Structure 1
């Protein structure tokens, strides 16, 4: 990079960064923990079985009857699944006392473009199927309730039906997975307070807490479904939702649905979120995979994007999600995730006498008074180059310079070496502060991960915070490089009474 781009007469703004809209899509693993309502007769509830796994609870051993029960794939074939090219296999889970999780594997060699399976719509759970009315579905999901909450409530009541439910084999399979991701870990939404401390120093810990509170708000609105779509629930002789299920039960169901749901494209709103047997949680995520479940005429199918040998696990893609989303939604992280990123929020100082002028200039150049910058893994230097013009604008204090920026034909503002040093020092201090907020160093993280007996949740959390730290270290290194390119290191940073705020 040329030194002239760091100081002297530089542009205040470059092109705005690409904004992705992550799609909630493929993931893994489910378990709805339904507890019998003590106020109801025991004869009404049939969900508590010896072979039911309780999400977040202790290990439960499968009863002998499981050996004689119909497996998921056989059930699907009986109800319309055409011949397919996959089988279900077991994946042992280290340091986990529960049953192994299942996964979908190729039953024969596959080539790029081959359809691995095609699940008929009669075996797909969507709001259109649940509510039987697209208008009601749209009304519910625009009236304080999400599709995920409605789908979770439906399967919670279905589970109370036990073997009487058409979906019993599918629910039993989801129970077996216990909401575990491909690393055998549940979403942090189901972690205890002490387990959340594994994420100390990361903003994701607060995100998890905020997400749980959002789920609580949805729980408080569940009875809306009962009263607006009462005909749906006539088959269930149970209490209204908030009386039939505690918040903890609903949270487990919601987290499980969130980790399993598929976001279908080019379908009606009432069908866009779907639960697809043989899809998640039985398919694993891979960041360099582009195969996704697709809605076709009367079915949802998966065409593979790579060759497979018989026995290979089938992988899919769940959109350009950073590791923070993968962890919260699905309980795993991807060390090779090209979409992994951190957020840096910068804000113009509202106490600055020139705040309104600076706000106008920022908006003119595609930025806002509170601007979110996405720092992608491996592209930290580019992210800093996007931040610097915005920060320089915040450092301007001379009214004549500000007027020059306002009246200029292009987005040009003067940048002195002392201002550039002040901006870079602020950035460097910001990254150092964020790194100091973690209780462990990168070296300590690597040492912990070398322990084969490390608790699975702590292992995933450690992998996650280690990847965050690597991005922050790369940002700090790039900032130091920029400082070293300044021509005169004896120059003191210029004072900045109204410097931008970083968080």
Structure 2
């Protein structure tokens, strides 16, 4: 005899979501409470070691996997994306969205995108999306989730979480006016929220590992927090989101918002997050900003960022962000990213006898006493902030006094050709060279091994290898440059 299912299954496709048996629901609630406690417990006074943080992540991950197993029969409806293109285009017309010279096309591993149907000139208007067609924090407050949003501190202060719940609620609603748009969205994403422990372990040595683990922990905490609300609040009994609210569903909604959200102006406020149909179908390409928001009524205006020939993929420039941000929040990397950087965490020890003098000089330059300083791609990989910090870090008392006397002159510490004296200069380049060497050796694989592993990789495997290669190429350029400086 087989194992009993954890859920009662509907007898036909339109029967709604599967229902958990009462005993199973009770077991699930106990595990959810455990997740919430682990994710919200007060950290110890001493900073936990990387090994302790990893062990805690594994415990949370195991609990989430138990939750996913129990919830496996509660599935969101899925739709063929290509079959949804025609209804989506018709819906855009009904919503007065203007789409000129482009059409939805399948770009394989890149997913759906936009393809030009005609030649386009740079600056030509291509997409216009009125605010009424967007899913926003404002529409969330006007939905049945409005009363919860008004009283919940997390939803009031975290627009992205508010939007994620709203998106999920509209997706499962039987009467949502955004169905043609939402049903065109991907069924899953290449964000780090879908990583397994093996994926996380492959990132050892990378500065994004800690951020990716923290992101997973945050989503686990949010899921457990809202699960408790949806299954304890009397008003939630009639909400369609309640029966579909699983970890997988929430992860999907969060990934949808993370990879597509943009901030638009809001009357009387600093702005609000929004999903912008049609415009968000365009994939990223290095270039210039070509999107604006017409506050007088037209909404989001998207222009061609360059000349396009008919049949080209129509792209937009997302923003000047490093690959770490694209990797963590958008689920892709750009190997040709001119704005890429790799953070190095450095700090002046509180036990340093010259701590006060060094901190004072750093403060005068607008630099922190501890934080992340950047390596960048190219022939000059040491960013001005990193160079100035390291020089000050390596100074003795006399050098610090000399530079403190002339605040304007001190800004020269950010330039490579600044004369700081042979001793400080030699220490600076030697320190950076050693640091880059240590960072390079901290990875589990070499750049050559990653290049081999990248061949034939797809999905999450390709994503993490691409990120590792981007990081290691910056380190390689930095090592080459620093080696030349230390041998002069």
TM-based fold match above 0.5: yes
SS in 1 for 2:279: coil
Shift of 1:329: 1.6
- Tell me which residue corresponds to 1:172: 183
SS in 1 for 2:334: coil
- Tell me which residue corresponds to 2:163: 151
Shift of 1:308: 2.2
- Tell me which residue corresponds to 1:476: 479
- Tell me which residue corresponds to 2:362: 362
**1:285 and 2:284 aligned:** yes
1:139–1:416 CA distance, 2 compared to 1 (3 A): farther
SS in 1 for 2:342: strand
Shift of 1:379: 5.5
Q: Distance in 2 between matches of 1:66 and 1:469?
A: 37
* 2:96 pairs with one of 80, 95, 117: 80
The farther-off stretch of 250-259 and 410-419 is 410-419
1:271–1:406 CA distance, 2 compared to 1 (3 A): closer
**1:200 and 2:199 aligned:** no
Give the alignment of 1:371-450 within 5 angstroms: 371-378=371-378, 380-383=380-383, 386-398=385-397, 402-407=400-405, 411=409, 417-449=422-454
Shift of 1:467: 1.5
- Tell me which residue corresponds to 1:314: 314
The farther-off stretch of 467-476 and 111-120 is 111-120
Shift of 1:324: 0.9
Q: With the length of structure 2 as denominator, give the TM-score of the two structures.
A: 0.73
**1:108 and 2:127 aligned:** no
Q: Distance in 2 between matches of 1:152 and 1:68?
A: 22
SS in 1 for 2:184: helix
**1:187 and 2:203 aligned:** no
Q: Distance in 2 between matches of 1:271 and 1:265?
A: 4
Q: Aligned pair count?
A: 418
More helix by share: 2
Shift of 1:63: 7.7
Structure 2 unaligned regions, length at least 5: 1-5, 19-67, 414-418
- Tell me which residue corresponds to 2:28: none
Q: With the length of structure 1 as denominator, give the TM-score of the two structures.
A: 0.71
Q: Distance in 1 between matches of 2:262 and 2:353?
A: 50
Contact 1:445 1:462 in 2 (8 A): yes
SS in 2 for 1:374: strand
SS in 2 for 1:472: helix
1:292–1:429 CA distance, 2 compared to 1 (3 A): same
Shift of 1:440: 2.1
Shift of 1:313: 2.0
1:276–1:210 CA distance, 2 compared to 1 (3 A): same
Q: Distance in 1 between matches of 2:217 and 2:299?
A: 36
Shift of 1:105: 2.0
* 1:46 pairs with one of 9, 16, 27: 16
- Tell me which residue corresponds to 2:255: 255
Shift of 1:320: 0.9
Contact 1:346 1:371 in 2 (8 A): yes
Shift of 1:367: 2.1
- Tell me which residue corresponds to 1:89: 105
**1:463 and 2:466 aligned:** yes
Q: Distance in 2 between matches of 1:365 and 1:419?
A: 18
SS in 2 for 1:373: strand
Contact 2:284 2:318 in 1 (8 A): yes
1:386–1:62 CA distance, 2 compared to 1 (3 A): closer
Q: Distance in 1 between matches of 2:274 and 2:379?
A: 34
Contact 1:283 1:316 in 2 (8 A): yes
1:389–1:260 CA distance, 2 compared to 1 (3 A): closer
SS in 2 for 1:201: coil
Structure 1 unaligned regions, length at least 5: 1-36, 49-53, 94-99, 181-185, 486-503
Q: Distance in 2 between matches of 1:350 and 1:368?
A: 13
